[in-house]
Chain A
């Protein structure tokens, strides 16, 4: 089932802009979160993860922010490129759970 919501289904940006994709989760017991990128007809591709004992984690061009107070997760993509166009999903894992539960996804469209 789905336990995340409050998202923009689509986000359109210009090449070079910074993109921010949001996700809200409902289970306060979730202790691990991952952002995935999915291109058409392909499986999810890992982007970045964060544990609940952190509030920020940075990767290459991407940053994930976690606000446990309001149960909010965001993915920031710096200098967005056309190749970043895809659907982005957040996923969460509760401590006792074994499978990742996915949110509804946001379609990012990057125009040149």
Chain B
């Protein structure tokens, strides 16, 4: 089956620093990748949608200059949290949609736990 990985699985950083999270589709090419954020005991909230080779589309209320998304290849998307603050501490989950798949097949990664101190 389709596998999506994320790296790192968890990260602790100091306030004011930047953190990069990678999302990879391991056995398929992903034309579209999605980034979600999940706070404790809450649902997954869509942050942005990225298509390979083009700029990401951000959901309302998500700062594009703070959450930089790059989808440089069909197997890799990165999310960089710039100038992180404690309120950015969350569980970040990516998902990917395959190149040849039907439009609604979306495969999720295992998530990255970000803690900002």
Contact = CB atoms under 8 A, between A and B. Distances in A.
Contacts of A42: 110-111
A59 to B, nearest CB: 15
Interface string B1-38: 00000100000000000000000000000001010100
A42 to B, nearest CB: 6
B32 A98 contact: yes
Contacts of B103: 98
A13 interface: no
Given A1-B59, A89-B43, A105-B43, A43 B93 contact: yes
B49 interface: yes
A80 B4 CA distance: 28
A43 B43 contact: no
A20 interface: no
Contact of A102 (B44, B97, B109): B44
Given A89-B43, A99-B46, A99-B49, A43 B111 contact: yes
B36, B43, B60, B113 — most chain A CB neighbours (10 Å): B43
B43 A103 contact: yes
Interface string A91-106: 0010000111111110
Interface of A: 1-2, 32, 36, 41-46, 89, 93, 98-105
15 contacts: A1-B46, A2-B43, A42-B110, A42-B111, A43-B110, A44-B93, A45-B108, A46-B108, A98-B34, A98-B103, A99-B46, A99-B49, A100-B95, A101-B46, A105-B42
